[in-house]
Chain A
């Protein structure tokens, strides 16, 4: 599209008439050029934004809408074509599937265990960074280090630490037990529901806390410094300043992070799939830590039940949108109240 404009440009630039003697011809050329320029101004913005929208429609929006469509149809396993219209049967199946319900609960518990500590620690570390530190860049970069480790690698590393038999953590626990602390026992990290979810949340926290720290830090640095000065004059100590100046001032960023981490945290896939040592890899022997995204993968890609997987995906999609809207509503409510 932009190429088209470009050739038009080239045309104008090279079409210099050999003799500008003919005034009528010259005027016609100017008129043509002006008209072209007017179209250039009118059309160019649309041409510039259209590649994004066209591609997004094809690979983003269309598949999402098609998910909703597919969720109403059957599809024979391994068949190349869609089956008959089923109405809400797929939804009925999914909503009465104990595995789906379990995955939904897991999704929420893992999300809460991985986002709440993350936000709290990130705010605390950001407050530490928001001081007159030496080697500022060093600290900021170090905090971001886990972010460059791919989730896959994170799971493999933590998987070796959390291994049930030979893992470092259980070996430490076992040796503490052997040294007289008899109330301490190795933890069944892969078979206990809470323990496994705790391990998975730990991985998510480890990778994302530093990233969120930097976002909080940016927000804190935008807080006008004289607010702190006047708070200090009023006799507020550093802790008091943090709670009554910093925290209220970074609230928009807080909301932003809560919304983005909700969207990401409800779609966790890599960790539960790779943490699993069973052959089926469906989030533990009894789906102790199967998330809904993993459920969608298992039903849709592995078992080729396109309709059911689509129904599950559409349900999760609506949950995420609902939560995002709820967040948004709460924010509006809170900011309006604080403004009043």
Chain B
């Protein structure tokens, strides 16, 4: 693994990357043609000029903008909440000594493997009893904290914050909270942005829980589901469906272009330490 790789390596990687990109490309191609063009065989290979027209049809069929705003609100709220509480707890686990910390941390690690998604029925009943069904609060509640977040921040802060710095801040008369604020938070910033990104994507792409928790309101994923249903019974209008898919994917693609590098680093860092 010292030699520079040859054509074979680049060729295989290229094939894999093309395979990764092709389905996405396909949605843009079909989504930018008319229904008749999209149904023809062989299918069009280059993007067509009807994307905006299809997009208008998407907007006429489902409340896309509402869904988009709802998704942004919920994903952002969960992202901020997870980052805040995870940094706080992760810092305590990484740097503060307190009785029971090992047992509590073991509990956190254990809960990472607990499939909480299976508890949809009681969660649904809970939301119904507190009249939270069909509200964004209900969608956000289960993801306000994640065990993964606490674990991730702890792993990062163990190395990122030198103990001497904490002691120095304490010597200068800082309270615990102030020490956290001026020592831990600045050091944690890279991990915080990665965790935000992760949580944002996790909530944004979730389909099952919003489906259960919402009735009239929609998130982007629910809107896509509804878009697919409109064609059911007849031949599905794939120009419409795939245009909607492309529209729903664009926000995350933009995020990926802007912060994909951090996402890659985050996944790789989490792996080595996890």
Contact = CB atoms under 8 A, between A and B. Distances in A.
A51 B118 contact: no
A150 B3 contact: no
Contacts of B120: 296-297, 300-301, 313
A326 interface: no
Nearest to B175: A9
Interface residues of A, number: 106
B1 interface: yes
Nearest to A222: B272
Contacts of A218: 267-269, 271-272
B216 interface: no
Interface range for B? 35 or more
A210 B17 CA distance: 9
B118 A215 contact: no
B121 A45 contact: no
Given A60-B142, A306-B125, A317-B115, A153 B27 contact: yes
Interface in B215-274: 220-221, 224-225, 228, 232, 235-236, 238, 241-242, 244-245, 248-249, 252-253, 255-256, 260-261, 263-264, 267-272, 274
B12 interface: yes
A188 interface: no
A128 B7 CA distance: 11
Interface stretch (A92-100, A105-113, A157-165): A157-165
A259 B112 CA distance: 11
Contacts of B178: 9
A309 interface: yes
A51 B176 contact: no
B150 interface: yes
Q: What does DSSP make chain A's interface, helix, strand, loop or mixed?
A: helix
A253 B272 CA distance: 8
B21 A145 contact: yes
B109 to A, nearest CB: 12
B111 to A, nearest CB: 7
Interface in B72-108: 85-86, 88-89, 91-93, 96-98, 101, 104, 108
B264 A301 contact: no
A221 B268 CA distance: 10
B2 A132 contact: yes
A49 B92 contact: yes
A52 interface: yes
A6 interface: yes
Contacts of B17: 139, 142-143, 145
Interface stretch (B47-55, B57-65, B186-194, B199-207): B199-207
Contacts of A222: 272
A125 B24 contact: no
B5 A148 contact: no
Given A48-B96, A274-B228, A168 B2 contact: no
A296 to B, nearest CB: 7
A50 B212 CA distance: 28
Nearest to A12: B175
Interface in A99-143: 125, 128-133, 137, 139-143
A30 to B, nearest CB: 12
A317 B116 CA distance: 9
A148 to B, nearest CB: 5
Given A48-B180, A274-B228, A142 B111 contact: no
A160 B142 contact: no
Contacts of A221: 268
Contact of B150 (A52, A157, A216): A52
Given A67-B119, A215-B268, A56 B176 contact: no
A159 B228 CA distance: 10
Contacts of A41: 176
Given A8-B175, A309-B121, 15 more contacts: A45-B96, A51-B89, A60-B114, A63-B123, A131-B3, A149-B249, A153-B224, A214-B271, A229-B2, A263-B115, A267-B115, A274-B207, A297-B211, A300-B121, A300-B124
29 contacts: A2-B88, A40-B176, A44-B96, A45-B92, A48-B91, A52-B88, A63-B126, A70-B122, A125-B12, A132-B5, A143-B17, A144-B263, A144-B267, A145-B24, A146-B24, A148-B201, A148-B252, A150-B221, A150-B249, A152-B225, A153-B27, A153-B248, A166-B238, A168-B43, A211-B267, A215-B270, A266-B115, A317-B115, A321-B113
Interface of B: 1-5, 9-10, 12-13, 16-17, 19-21, 23-24, 26-27, 30, 39, 41, 43, 85-86, 88-89, 91-93, 96-98, 101, 104, 108, 111, 113-126, 141-142, 144-145, 147, 150, 175-178, 180, 201, 204-205, 207-208, 211-212, 220-221, 224-225, 228, 232, 235-236, 238, 241-242, 244-245, 248-249, 252-253, 255-256, 260-261, 263-264, 267-272, 274
- What 3 A-B pairs are tightest by C-beta distance, nearest first? A63-B119, A150-B205, A44-B176
